[in-house]
Amino acid sequence: MKNATITGWGRCIPQPVVTNAELATVVDTSDEWITTRSGIKERHVSHVQNSDMATLAAKRALAAAGRKPEDLDYIVVATCTPDRQIPSTACYVQIKLGAMKAAASDINAGCTGFIYGLSMAQGLIATETAKTVLVIGSERITSYLNLDVRETAVLFGDGAGAVIVEATDEPVGVMSMILGADGGGAPSLTATGLGTEFIGTDADLAVIMDGSEVFKNAVVKMGECTVEATEKAGWTPEEIDLVVPHQANTRIIDAVRRRIRADDDKVYINIHKYGNTSAATIPIALSEALEEGRVAPGSKLIFVAFGAGFTWGGAAVKWGDRVTPINVIDDELPEPDMTGLEIMRARHLVFQS
Ligand code: UT7
276 lines ligand 1 (CB under 6 A): yes
**In the prediction, which pLDDT does 350 show?**
73
| Edge-to-edge strand list for the sheet holding 103-107 | 3-12, 159-168, 132-139, 74-78, 103-107
- Report the atom number in ligand 1 closest to the C-alpha of 38: 15
What is the C-alpha separation between 189 and 208, in angstroms, rounded? Answer: 6
DSSP output for 253-300: HHHHHHHTT--GGGB---HHHH-B-GGGHHHHHHHHHHHTT---TT-E
Is residue 339 within 8 Å of residue 350, measured between CB atoms?
no
12 lines ligand 1 (CB under 6 A): no
**In the prediction, which pLDDT does 352 show?**
64
Tell which one of 215, 219, 271 to mutate to probe ligand 1, the residue whose CB is within 8 A of the most ligand atoms: 215
Q: What's this model's pTM, rounded to 2 decimal places?
A: 0.98
Q: Which residues are catalytic?
A: 111, 246, 276
Single-letter code of the amino acid located at 339? T
> Given CA atoms 146, 150, 151, 155 in this order, what sign does their dihedral have?
positive
Backbone angles phi, psi at 139, to 5 degrees: -140, 140
Neighbours of 211 (CB within 10 A): 16
- What is the overall mean pLDDT for the chain? 97
Query: Could you give the domains of the chain?
Result: 3-338 (3.40.47.10)
Task: Show Cβ contacts of residue 34 under 8 Å, excluding neighbours closer than 6 positions.
Answer: 20, 23, 40, 41, 154
Neighbours of 312 (CB within 10 A): 28
What is the C-alpha separation between 157 and 342, in angstroms, rounded? Answer: 15
Tell which one of 37, 108, 141, 144 to mutate to probe ligand 1, the residue whose CB is within 8 A of the most ligand atoms: 37
Strands (E), the chain: 3-12, 17-19, 42-44, 74-78, 103-107, 132-139, 159-168, 173-181, 189-192, 206-209, 242-245, 300-307, 311-318
What is the C-alpha separation between 185 and 117, in angstroms, rounded? Answer: 21
What is the C-alpha separation between 328 and 127, in angstroms, rounded? Answer: 31
Q: Angle 49-53-58 (CA atoms, 0-180°, nearest 5)?
A: 140
- Identify the segments of the chain with pLDDT beneath 70: 351-353
Is residue 10 within 8 Å of residue 66, measured between CB atoms?
no
Q: Does residue 87 have a cis bond before it (omega within 30 degrees)?
A: yes
Distances (CA, A) of 41 to 9, 247, 271: 25, 13, 8
Q: Does residue 198 have a cis bond before it (omega within 30 degrees)?
A: no
CA of 189 to the centre of ligand 1 (A): 13
Phi-psi region of 316 (alpha: psi -120 to 50; beta: other; left: phi over 0): beta
250 lines ligand 1 (CB under 6 A): no
Neighbours of 219 (CB within 10 A): 20
